[in-house]
Structure 1
């Protein structure tokens, strides 16, 4: 039992503060206070209570609102200081002007972590940023970690801790091996909903909002440690904690957990849009790319690409090489997949004579026994033809993974499900099904068997390429770690300005030739350096305040 003590101000009795880490209190809370709760569960400030009750949260729940005596069968307190014990997490759902007072009250009560749903802070301009900073200072003074403001909150589906008002909480939300962190609330919710539609279980969903304190990297770094999580995914608009992101990515690599992110702000216009949306610095995209390559972060083009990769990573062993065997019921699809495979760095190897002979014994005379293999529509009459063809291709020493393309087949779901179940049991190398215009029950049936089934030819090849690349990057990284070799770390994303001389030195160290350069503090010095280098030269402005030089005329050639 917790003992009663006085807080540092001596203003009211509280129970002793939990000894758990503040991020654990945020992501895996054992007790939650809902400040500003509504008894109307259709309202945004009523949804947290609704979700906690519906999702089977087993921790203690403390509704806080002076308007009510009881909410959802739980005693409702007029203020957090009246609870009599310290909630590990406070969820604050009040108007922006009331947030500082509630943060102060939660801090005095000894709360370790708080989620602030309220908007109207840093994303609204200078006045909002000042108000936001006041909230941050109050939280820091009390040693409390703050998620938000302007956040949809956090979900730990394993524990039923739905500290959120997102619509995602309204549907079936079975926990699964994917941890998802997003800097966008609405778009992140859409991604979560798409994941659910695919049958992908999210163990965690965390929206970091304005990231005044708790960052994307903080959440990622804690979620990666959960043994129930095997794959991490994220939507990023701008890195605010570069070193923290590097640490989390490194840890994911160490633990063999793929980290798949969609990072926007690749262009100048995209970076401006990201900044206006969240107030975050999008940073130099090339720097983020460097970090991704160094630490094996898989960069997805968009949400569907991300989920394809996540889908495959949670169901399929990583291919141990670049050789792809393609088996289709359409010659055209085989050509398309072959083209795409080579475009993304995979190989479509010629099959051995033994494999070709084996295929010829399986296929009809009008089938194609090369790579790609065309089993034709004849396999509908003899499903073993498909299974035996895939097995023959996977047995080829030059093939490391198979991509199996199908279309429609509404009337053959049970037959195909059984075929792929047997195939999974009888093969060791991985395979992925590309099922175009598939019936939903077919996709669900394969997922229940732990078989990855994607909806398009090129997306299937892209997902394979991503995991092949990740596996190769991890092997190389582990070899370097084992040798004790230390590569010079790249500047962390979000670190801001990196001097040209620094980046040039890094390139030279990596064996990349660069042009001669010099830093001038005046026009006369610039002329002197140019004469020493030899004309023509490029002149670029060098300033920590100007990251996009061409947009302000900061580059001259001649």
Structure 2
């Protein structure tokens, strides 16, 4: 971790340029918060209009401070920022937070000023948060380099382990305040503003290494550096720091709004979704889900299985919870028979199958809840529990009687996540939170929290195994003496064959007699395809002849295809491809790539032929992928059943398809800077053990 980044997040000294004695002003709030919330480092107010502010010596300029300064906060009008930054360079400060607006968010002139700042920061190794940012704070250190009003009247919750980074200051403030109302604390809060230097990826990397953080929560509109973001996500995964992200800009309107807001490249939402899935990020779609899941990841153990026990005081809510548990991919196993018998002895009128209905008697029998939970969870058949207590949380006399039981069960089964569902007031919420219990008022949200914990438990490290090819990783154009950007099928398959991609047997003929000779060598029937660099979609022009049966038909077909090309304006005849006719039983699949402007090469797999466009049934990952990941991609397809054994029919060769997807993904990653798009369509998946063959392919270079 860079010391300069540490100076931003964890400084031992802070100078506030534009500091004000008025705690209601932008330049006064950071000082007020630092003093009010116990910052132990050195504070240096800087303002030529004062000699002292709130008992601290006030300096005319940053250069007048004799001691080293880790972090500088600039709270000045935009026109003064650049000259002030030069003074920071002279002082050799390590990090700067710039509140000032009026930069890239307002137009070209502001963008040029921001670019000057970024260039200076890079040249002098100064980390910059902002400009146009709300700042940041580090709760356990009492470090507040922010002018947000969310801290004016109420302190943050202490002891929180959630690191929160947001590209929107207003969104961040809203989430912070809502979380605080529910007794949820953060270790850090960062609003990145215009991201002239420090961006979301930098913040994720820092928080991944931070010992006070166990979960990273992030609001994201976009990024200009997809690879840097991926590296940050990978680091967090290695450090076992789960990430919860709200990513906005899903629709065209939303994407345009995000572009205008942060200036980040938004990219395809489907690609972002893929990246999150691939690197173990939980994507939340509402603020409640965002906060709930971050809380669950921070305060509850990961689920090792999907078996849920539901304890309820209401039969009706129990039914609703049962439905939602199943709908979210979790299971509701019936209580073991011997446990049911013991529970019936305790309360004959109870429902004991799961959901377990303790009825209202739970309010009159102090140990009833504990007896039921102990019996069920102690059976070893459950991985999580939801305890629905209705409106008990609103009754001062009711909750304390249940609290010991809940705490005993948490202590006895620390490996089993347990969520209490009850209505709350501020007093009861604080009571339960201080006791270390996870609570929610909504049964549906509680189930979502468990589903997220189960997903987290299933997330695997998927480090791809390198694929070794005999082909050299030279430029494709150089290797094959190509000038055009769009390659014919013949040239495309020559390239692919060198990377272990199984293609059909074929030869390019320049004459009718040569075509007939090639057909004899390959074996009938054959396919004839007219090759022209200017006509890449051959079927529409009648340039594909199937089931050609003998030499006379080959010669006749050659002449026909050559004539079509020669009669097409601006088309060049490259020859006729003589290709083996694929007659074995097979499933047509599509394997392809697309270069995303943010994240680079993405590999896709789906049902092939014309169906790729009809059904849009496609799975996608960032390349490269392992064979195991390729298998997961195929499992995601709605059409996956076509490949499997069904009603006496044998299965098709899914293993060979997985190997093809993986090998292909390494090819596109190796040539990531050259390839715009590659289509293998169709790739014929033969019967199990027979392999796969790419029948047609097109490569489009950048």
TM-score (norm 1): 0.82
C-alpha offsets along residues 67-123 of structure 1, whole Å, 9 cap, x if unaligned?
111112111111111112331111111111111111111112111111110112112
Give the Cα–Cα distance (whole angstroms) in 1 for the partners of residues 69 and 195 of structure 2.
22
Change (3 A) 1:509 1:397: farther
Cα distance change, pair 436–147 in 1 and its aligned pair in 2 (3 A)? same
Q: 1:8-87 residue pairs with structure 2 within 5 A? A: 21-87=3-69
- Look up the SS of the partner of 1:453 in the other structure: strand
Does the 8 Å CA contact 2:204/2:236 hold for their aligned counterparts?
no
Q: Distance in 1 between matches of 2:595 and 2:437?
A: 52
Q: Distance in 1 between matches of 2:598 and 2:92?
A: 43
Preserved contact between residue 33 and residue 61 of structure 1 (Cα < 8 Å): yes
Matches for 1:196-345 after TM superposition, within 5 Å: 196-345=180-329
How has the CA–CA distance of structure 1 residues 396 and 94 changed in structure 2, closer, same or farther, with 3 Å as cutoff? same
For the residues of structure 1 that align with 2:538 and 2:106, how far apart are their CA atoms? 45
Contact between 1:215 and 1:241, CA under 8 Å: does it hold in 2? no
Equivalent residues of 1:417, 1:445 under 8 A apart? no
Structure-1 separation of matches of 2:343 and 2:544: 64
Contact 2:267 2:596 (C-alpha < 8 Å) held by counterparts: no
Deviations 1:390-439 (A, max 9, x none): 22221233311111112112130211222212222333442433423223
Residue matched to 1:460: 446
Contact 2:163 2:217 in 1 (8 A): yes
> For residues 70 and 270 of structure 1, do their structure 2 counterparts lie closer, same or farther at Cα, with a shift above 3 Å needed?
same
Q: Distance in 1 between matches of 2:59 and 2:328?
A: 59
Cα distance change of structure 1 residues 126 and 532 upon mapping to structure 2, 3 Å threshold: farther
Distance 2:240 2:268 in 1: 27
CA–CA distance in structure 2, aligned partners of residues 228 and 449 of structure 1: 20
Q: Give 1:301 shift.
A: 1.5
- Could you tell me which of 124, 141, 148 is aligned with 1:159? 141
**CA–CA distance in structure 2, aligned partners of residues 110 and 521 of structure 1:** 63
Q: Deviations over 1:503-544 (max 9, x none)?
A: xx9xx999xxxxxxxxx999744457875689xxx9xxx998
Q: How many residues align?
A: 497
CA contact (8 A) 2:224 2:598 kept: no
Task: Write out aligned runs for 1:371-382 (5 A).
Answer: 371-382=354-365
Equivalent position of 1:471 in the other structure: 457
- Whole-Å Cα distance in 2 between the matches of residues 236 and 509 of structure 1? 39
Q: Distance in 2 between matches of 1:463 and 1:349?
A: 19
Match of 2:618 in 1: none
* Farther off after superposition, 424-433 or 372-381: 424-433
1:359 aligns with 2:317: no
Larger Rg: 2
The question of whether the paired residues in 1 share the 8 Å contact of 2:75 and 2:98 is answered with yes
Preserved CA contact (<8 Å) 2:236 2:243: yes
CA displacement 1:337-381 (0-9 Å, x = unmatched): 12212222111122221222232223342x211111111111111
Is structure 2 residue 399 aligned with structure 1 residue 413?
Answer: yes
1:40, distance to aligned residue in structure 2 (A): 1.0
Gaps of 5+ in 1: 1-18, 489-498, 511-519, 548-556
CA-atom RMSD in angstroms: 3.2
Aligned-residue offset at 1:486: 6.2
- Which structure ranks higher in relative contact order (CA pairs < 8 Å, sequence separation ≥ 6)? 1
- Structure 2 counterpart SS, 1:351: coil
1 CA distance for matches of 2:235 and 2:265?
24
Asked whether 1:396 is paired with 2:379, we answer yes
Offset, 1:56: 1.2
Q: Tell me if the contact between 1:404 and 1:431 (Cα under 8 Å) persists in the aligned partners.
A: no
Residues 426 and 126 of structure 1: CA distance in aligned 2, closer, same or farther (over 3 Å):
same
Query: 1:414-468: CA deviations, max 9, x gaps?
Result: 1122221222233344243342322332222222121111111110000011011
Residue number in structure 2 paired with 1:144: 126
**TM-aligned CA distance change 1:423 to 1:210, over 3 Å:** same
Contact 2:420 2:437 in 1 (8 A): no
C-alpha contact (below 8 Å) 2:267/2:598 kept by paired residues: no
